[in-house]
A and B are shown apart, each in its own frame.
Chain A
Amino acid sequence: MGDETVRITIDGTELQAEAGQTILEVARENGIYVPTLCYHPRLLPIGSCRLCVVEIEGADRPMTACTTQVQDGIVVHTHTDRLHRIRLDALKLILVNHPLDCPQCDAAGVCELQNLVFEFGIDQQEYQATKSAQGMKEFATPLIRQWGDRCVMCLRCIRADHEIVRTHAIDVVGTGNEAHVGITNPDACISCGECLRVCPVGALTERVSRTKARPWQSQKVLTTCHYCSLGCQLELTVFENKVIGVTAPEDRGANRGSLCQRGIFGYDFLHHPQRITAPMIKGAGQWKEVPWEEALSHTAAMVNKVVMGNGPEAVGGLISPRSTNEEIYLFQRFMREVVGTNNIDSTGRLCLEPHRLAIQEILGNNYLPYTLDDIIRGDCIVVAGGDLDANNNIIAANRIREALWRTGARLIVLHPRQGRLAEEADCWFSLRPGAEAIWALGMINLLLKDKEGWGPSVDGIKGFNELKEAAKEFTPAAVAKEIGCSQELVREAAGHLINAKQPAFVCSPPLGQGPNGVDQITALANLALLCGALTDTGEGGFHWVGPQSNMVGAVEMGAAPTLLPGYAPASERGLSSVEMFQAAAKRKIKALFIVGEDPLLTLPRSLVEEGLAALEFLVAQDMFLSETAERAHVFLPALSFAELDGTFTNCEGRVQRLHRALKPPEGLRWGGEIFAEVASYMGSEMTVVSPAAVFEEIINANPFYKGTMFDPHAPQRRNGSGGELLKEAAFGVVKTEQEQGKKDYPFYLSIEGIFSSHLIGHDHQRRAQVLAHVARSYLAMNAEEAAKIGVADGDRVRIVTPWGEMEIGVKGSEGMRKDCLCLSLALCNVDVSRLMGPQLDPRSLVPAYGRVPAKVEKV
């Protein structure tokens, strides 16, 4: 489809169209209006509302424009008396069951039915039919209300649920006039809000905000989501300086109108009563609000004191990957130029670095040019690392689902647990995290045997012979034994890769965040290079999806001990985050400046506690008094993402704008201003005018950002570096030694969701309060293993690792590898970091979030 052109006539105008397009698509492209109600550009057309009927010469029956494909030479009429009558009758029939509560309806003013009734000038209708009243009730998720009587049965919500998310939580129930949208499987609902956002009327409404406002009273501000690295574009609905709802524009960003539960419902933290809006200094264990000048000058004095007394190397800085590029850039300038140290890091780097190192090794590049759109052109997709659904990278997971339907793509999932994507997969490898390299070598072994079947010429690539040699021992039998699957499955997966023309890899942490982490990714990237997923043209591709909104920006702006902005190597390596706490414990680091990070929750806890306790000075900048901030000496209140102007760089390299939607509380200022003021008190001048001006500075300092704009006219990405991607390609060397499990710890634990769950808050401090209501953290373990220790779903267990323990509810699953545990965090748990050990991967300087030795006990 798509390459053939046809000529059609619509309402007397001759038009060119692509074969395979529908009449409606062609009409819309050419500005010809055809009314619709059930049609939605992201959903399969079903021709149910009958409003888009058109007359085609030669056809006796009117046909629906949304479902009829253009044929060469057809003559179409979109507005005739007959069509008007059919449309009018269809609309009148809808109104038979539609309540007249427009004045109270949330959708009033943005209601598609209202618009249609107005357009057709209907002021009365003569039909009657009894229908049982539906009333208002909770939908499949408590976050959405359903007003059944307002529903027009366009089925968009059901189709969004079935086609985009594929949870099948809702469906048509009943027949005839009693047919309605029913909740058929509430447990399946993931509260993604996809149903809500496609509803053309007010039949589904959100219940996060208590405040409601008319569309004409409120204002929509386009900005970038601050949760994960997909960088969804969303619009905050603002009324009286409050966000009262979130929507997403259809035509912006990688999300194309979709959002996840966090993006759409997770905004009430913006107006949280526990938010701190004044600077504070701790004295005698008590926080005391102080004027800004005092807090900043005190901070400057304390940092200066350490620098003077112990040298700049005794100061360290951590900055959150949810800070803007401009803030991160200025913070690294502050640390490097004002303080004079490379001791700067970010949890964003912890999530990106293993991937970057692997790509660097194979292609000599720091990042890849692919976009999420490339996934849907993939015909065999390999998913490795985190469970995209469980980690709420649902937009990425849905792209994969789209490929399964759009191109009939094959899907291979590597994960110890059979999550939702694994259920849809052709091949699910229930492997131990850290065995990805073995799997990849097994594939390489078979691919090299079947050189006939696939195209790319790779013999010439450096390292080919070594790769061939390395893959030799990874026969299907050996791999099957190591992974614990059948040889047929290994062969089948290899067959899919061999047959694929455009394979794609979608990977995410905790892949790479365990022992030999970088090797796992290198091995997968070797396979990707071999089978043709890494191409210059950008089809399929190799994707890295991370948990933080500015994961990429954090590293690219230089929040890394080894890298300056633009991946330039630092002349002297600073300390990574974990190393800073190790150094603090040894009294080598004496002062820490922590911006938005909560290391007590995300880094090995005992180490962080030890380090924090030994510090002379800790300054924390945050919206809330986080676990870490509680232990600070100075607290600086921070702005929320809705109060910030600036940019984020998403996982595809899109440089996207945050627009200030809310006026910040009195006196609060953005990070850049704070860093400049502290610098100034320290005696150094950092001229900071505005985020826009800082962005100009970034463009000059970071060659990859050249050509981008603070306020671009169209979506932009930092330098794509496609084209010659493969010029320097070389297969990487991979170590496959597997660390043996520790005695008495029969399980391998992986921790997923740790970097995003703290935004939702924890049991003592729920930040996104409504979301916390549906967020569930749990330990997934094999059902048989759970039974062995006498626990059932929902029971509490104690997870014990060599470094600590925590308690949590368990979820037994048949589809879970026996010797693995997955800690799936939606709501933050303050004890999770107790489970982590202090060892770092020597290459990436990342502690282990995967493959942690563990045991489980009944509580």
Chain B
Amino acid sequence: MAGMVFSYWGGKLTDNRRKAGKKAAQPARLKLPPEFKPGVPIKAFVGWDGFAIRDKSTSVVDMCRAYMEAVQEVSCGKCFPCRIGTKVIAEILDRITQGKGKMKDIDQMAVLGRSIVEGSKCQIGQTGPVPLLTALEHYRGEFEGVIKNKRKVPRGEYKVKLTAPCINACPAHLDIPTYIERIAEGNFLDSLRVIRERTCLPGVLGRVCVRPCESNCRRLNVDEALDIRHLKRFVADYELEKKRAPVLPTPQDKKDKKVAIIGAGPAGLSCAYYLALKGYSVTIFEQLDEPGGMAAVGIPDYRLPRPILRREADIITSLGVEIRYNTTVGKDISINALKGEYAAIFIGVGAQDSMPMRVEGEDAGYKGFISGVQYLYSINKGKDPYPAGKRVAVVGGGNVAIDCVRSSFRVQKKDVNLLYRRTRTEMPADDVEIHDAEEEEVRFEYLCAPTKIIEQKGKVMGVECIKMELGEPDESGRRRPVPVKGSEFVVDTDILIPAIGQRVDLSFIEEQDAIETTKWSTVASDDATFQTSRAEIFSAGDCVTGPDVLVRAAGNARLAAEMIDLYLQGRGVEASDDELLERLMAEIGVYDSEENIGIIPDGKREQLGLLPPESRKWTFEEVEKGFATDAAMREAARCLRCYRIGLVAIGK
């Protein structure tokens, strides 16, 4: 059953029905894994672009029926062709599978199906009849056979998933089209309710998310992606500005089991929120004196004002979650001690250690040599880390490096440099961030790498660098920088800040805890269940993935909360079908950057107001202003509502 019998996807046909064995071709466009989960093979897949069959015994007619019923089920009911048309077709297909079909049904479905595809408002109707139309073309004989023989077709077993390119790309799988539609309709608080089903950090993510959704937005194929991130910020701010009580689901009845969470960062807070909603008593152990972890002390206030973070943490504590500040696990209390009191433990400590530059003198403890993480921590705690230093050089090209240079202005450093070994094109930092830093007149020194710290009497005086040039691409796909011999030069500076990466500090785990770690010095946890080598201990976030984006930590922590719930209920700890389907869709690929959407560009992406660079760079005031109501509604109205339905036929 390893081969593909039939596949029509992305306009590419692979038909192996009459080809045996080796002659069978592999489908060009569709990557369909053989199994849904261990021991459950995938017989066929039906989706927005066509379908594929692995198992010859699959009934295409019944599969189409199931798919059209699924379409009808999720049809929002607002536009006529989709609401009624897909119902008409679903009923015809049902009749056919009951052995009561008529030959003219085939043509009627084809005509109506095309009309629905052409006439519907969103992708549910626009793609809903596509697989049926494909089947009517390539499997017409099967339909005719069923109708002619008046044969009842047995019902297959199917799993259905509703997703969208943006939802699928989002590590937290927010229901983006719905929350955006609510904004377009003016139902801002309901939009926030939808967001909170998947994350408790809308105000934070609405500001600092790296927004994978936006690079998977079908609107990109027309003009520009939606500003999904700032729409999320808009509704979070709306609730705050209008002083409305947060819209939260009603927590379930209190359960007697307690959960300990290590770290009040995005992962810890998210896990706590969803566990609290399930009725568990949750205690978070946090070494700092405030919530947010790296989001609080690693992200500067001009990007993420602390009151936003504190409010979202307050909402979580309002559900009864206790945060014990200034409590370092491994020092003030051991994991072992936690095990006694708590039925489950979640580790979400993040990655806060700096990676070394491997440059001469970096371990010598020179004054003025400060790691990026430390530098930001100190500034975010309201303290200039080295007031005597006036000139700053930051090494690195990620968001932390950009945060370091931009924060430097804000503690009144006048001479600020960023040294990066590749060019601007390869810089991993967010393009908007780089652009803002350029506006604030950070001096960028590209294609150079530090070789030696220059010091005098234990104080940093400068850094010796070597010029680089780009060679062959490395495993990351970016061109590898190669030193240019004899091109050394010196950048004078009082402060040298390495910001080239972070790693996890695992020192709080003791040997007796028996928690496995990886060779990259991260916590080893299952990527679907987030369970560690100890059944009662779960972990997610940067301490598992290494330094990664906030939204993944938050999203995985929510899933981990689900798993902890299963564990505490004594049920099997395994990923839900829904999550497996989401992953399957990701493998198939929900967004196609080549797709012709077929509409003209209308309505430009709304632009946020920014504080002017010359004044903003000296203060911690938030740089970006949120959308005004009218702008948010206009921006939301640009959404194409690209919902897509995937159906997997499983079973023997």
Show the binding face of A for B, using Cβ within 8 Å: 44, 46-50, 53, 56, 58-64, 67-71, 74, 82, 85-86, 89-90, 93-94, 96-97, 126-131, 152-153, 155, 159, 162-163, 166, 168, 172, 174-180, 404-409, 423-426, 428
Contacts and interface: CB of A to CB of B under 8 A. Distances in A.
B613 interface: no
Most chain B CB within a 10 A radius of its CB, from A47, A61, A97: A61
Nearest to A496: B241
Contacts of B603: 69
Contacts of A63: 599-600, 602
A89 B85 CA distance: 9
Nearest to A126: B108
A405 B602 CA distance: 21
A428 B243 contact: yes
B371 interface: no
Interface in B55-102: 72-81, 83-88, 91
Contacts of B599: 56, 59-61, 63
B77 A408 contact: no
A86 B630 contact: no
Contact of B91 (A60, A74, A130, A159): A130
Given A86-B119, A129-B87, A405-B633, A179 B77 contact: yes
Contacts of B83: 93, 153, 176-177, 179
12 contacts: A44-B633, A44-B637, A60-B596, A62-B119, A89-B115, A93-B83, A93-B84, A131-B87, A155-B78, A162-B185, A176-B75, A177-B87
Contact of B84 (A68, A155, A177): A177
Nearest to A179: B77
A61 B242 CA distance: 40
A49 B118 contact: no
Contacts of B91: 128-130
Given A63-B599, A128-B88, A129-B84, A172 B77 contact: yes
Contacts of A428: 243
B92 to A, nearest CB: 9
Contact of A153 (B77, B86, B241): B77
Given A49-B80, A407-B628, 16 more contacts: A44-B186, A44-B633, A56-B599, A61-B597, A71-B600, A93-B85, A128-B91, A129-B87, A130-B91, A153-B77, A176-B75, A177-B83, A180-B77, A408-B631, A426-B241, A426-B242
Contacts of A127: 84-85, 88, 112
A213 to B, nearest CB: 31
Nearest to B632: A408
Contacts of B596: 60
A89 B119 contact: yes
A90 B152 CA distance: 32
B601 interface: yes
B185 A176 contact: no
Contact of B118 (A64, A86, A97, A162): A86
Interface in B589-640: 596-603, 627-633, 637
A176 B637 contact: no
- In the complex, the 9 A-B pairs of residues with the closest C-beta atoms, listed nearest first: A179-B77, A408-B628, A60-B598, A61-B598, A177-B87, A408-B629, A93-B84, A176-B72, A129-B87
Most chain A CB within a 10 A radius of its CB, from B115, B244, B597, B631: B115
Contacts of B77: 153, 172, 174-180
Contacts of A46: 78, 121
B270 interface: no
Contacts of A175: 72-77
B407 interface: no
A40 B76 CA distance: 20
B283 interface: no
B185 A44 contact: yes
A772 to B, nearest CB: 33
B186 A163 contact: yes
Nearest to B599: A59
Given A59-B599, A163-B186, A48 B630 contact: no
Contacts of B87: 129, 131, 176-177
Contacts of A152: 80
Interface string B114-134: 010011110000100000000
A339 to B, nearest CB: 56
Contacts of A409: 629
A48 B242 contact: no
Contacts of B79: 47-50
Contact of A96 (B88, B185, B602): B88
Nearest to A94: B80
A241 B273 CA distance: 65
A176 B86 contact: yes
A97 B84 CA distance: 8
Contacts of A60: 596, 598-599
Nearest to A173: B77
Nearest to B601: A71
Most chain B CB within a 10 A radius of its CB, from A48, A130, A131, A174: A48
B236 to A, nearest CB: 15
Contacts of A153: 77-78, 80, 83
A50 B81 contact: yes
Contact of B242 (A62, A70, A407, A425): A425
A513 B73 CA distance: 58
Nearest to A90: B80
A64 B81 CA distance: 14
Contact of B88 (A69, A93, A155, A405): A93
B120 A96 contact: no
B187 interface: yes
B108 A50 contact: no
B554 interface: no
A32 to B, nearest CB: 18
B186 A162 contact: yes
Given A71-B600, A96-B88, A61 B80 contact: no
A50 B600 contact: no
Given A69-B602, A128-B91, A404 B75 contact: no
Nearest to B95: A128
Nearest to A49: B80
B226 to A, nearest CB: 15
B634 to A, nearest CB: 9
A179 B76 contact: yes
A404 B76 CA distance: 28
Nearest to A130: B91
Contact of B600 (A59, A155, A166): A59
A126 B601 CA distance: 37
A488 B358 CA distance: 50
Contacts of A426: 241-243
Contacts of A129: 84, 87-88, 91
Contacts of A126: 108
Contacts of B633: 44, 405
Interface string B162-176: 000000000000000
Nearest to B126: A61
Contacts of B126: 61
Contact of A71 (B602, B630, B631): B602
B184 interface: yes
A168 B87 CA distance: 28
Contacts of A48: 78-80, 121
Contacts of A163: 185-186
A405 B76 contact: no
Contacts of A424: 242
Contacts of B601: 71
Contacts of A49: 79-80
B570 to A, nearest CB: 35
A162 B84 CA distance: 24
A428 B244 CA distance: 11
Contacts of A406: 630
B191 to A, nearest CB: 13
Contact of B80 (A56, A93, A180, A408): A93
Contact of B119 (A59, A68, A90, A423): A90
Most chain A CB within a 10 A radius of its CB, from B118, B241, B598: B118
